[in-house]
Amino acid sequence: MDKKEFLKIIKQRRVVRKFDRNKGVPKDALDRMLEAAIWAPLSIYHPQEWKFIVLEGQKRDNAVEIITQDHTILKYIRFMYEQTSIGHGEKWKKMAEYFGHSLGDAPVLIVCLVRFDPHIHQFGHNLGAAWCASENLMLQAETEGLNTGIISMASPRIQHELIDLLEFNSDEWAVAYIINVGYGLKIPPPVEREKEGVIIFQN
């Protein structure tokens, strides 16, 4: 792949909030996305202390029912849009509410669990490794012609219910994030990045 082509893929990736529920995700594409995630950088303390749980069909619907009880998701989506030049007005408010009640109708959810560690520094490494994996997964999805969105949850109660649904121990695992996967019905425009965030020292 050309170097500029790879940079183009990075720049065109978007967090999508509205999907075609009736158009499934090809299994071979999903397999490559998960393989890309596995090859992300690992934590130095506990290599690969995360799990990716792929949910489709009824299991996906059960998870959405649990997740959408967390009203912080709707607040987060509204805040995110309102902080950009594109997120004002009734249209964006309705889009936030739609996503907050249905998770955008994405046909596939990927729940990332990380093993809880009482040592905050080590737990931070586990979370960092999981978030690195999310970028790999989302970029591979872009090359597959798929779209993704990502959310996290603040409510401990909702986290526990979701982990129990997935048949893991909520005392040992925490939800890092949830990725929606599918074919987007609406691709948002890019949000401008600030190059002032990059500082270079040269001799």
CA 125/CA 97 separation, integer angstroms:
33
* Residue 80, pLDDT score: 62
Is there a domain that residue 155 lies in? yes
Domain count for the chain, please give it: 1
* Residue 1, pLDDT score: 72
Report, as ranges of residue numbers, the positions in the chain whose pLDDT lies below 70. 45-46, 74-89, 91-93, 96
* Residue 71, pLDDT score: 73
Which range marks the domain in which residue 91 is found? 15-188
CA 140/CA 17 separation, integer angstroms:
18
**Would you call 133 exposed, middle or buried from its count of C-beta atoms within 10 A (0-12, 13-18, 19+)?**
buried
* Residue 197, pLDDT score: 78
Q: What is the pTM of this model?
A: 0.88
* Residue 152, pLDDT score: 86
Type of residue numbered 100: G
* Residue 176, pLDDT score: 94
Can you tell me whether residue 139 is helix, strand or coil?
helix
CA 184/CA 133 separation, integer angstroms:
21
Supply 192's token pair: 């401008």
* Residue 85, pLDDT score: 58
Can you tell me whether residue 164 is helix, strand or coil?
helix
Q: For position 68, which CATH number holds?
A: 3.40.109.10
* Residue 168, pLDDT score: 96
